[in-house]
Amino acid sequence: MRRGGLTLSEALEREHALRNALNVLELSLSLAKDAMADGDTVRASDFMARAEQACVQCRTLFDIPAAIAPVPAKPD
Q: Which helix (H) or strand (E) holds 60?
A: helix 41-61
What pLDDT, on the 0 to 100 scale, is given for residue 19?
A: 95
CA distances from 23 to 4, 69, 71 (A): 25, 20, 23
Whole-model pTM?
A: 0.72
Report if residue 25 sits inside a domain: yes
Report if residue 23 sits inside a domain: yes
Domains identified in the chain, total number = 1
Report if residue 72 sits inside a domain: no
What pLDDT, on the 0 to 100 scale, is given for residue 68?
A: 55
What pLDDT digit, counting tens, does each position of 8-51 carry?
A: 888 888 899 999 999 999 999 999 999 999 999 999 999 999 99
Report if residue 57 sits inside a domain: yes
- Tell me the residue range of the domain where 55 lies: 7-63
Report if residue 68 sits inside a domain: no
Report if residue 14 sits inside a domain: yes
What pLDDT, on the 0 to 100 scale, is given for residue 71?
A: 58
Report if residue 69 sits inside a domain: no
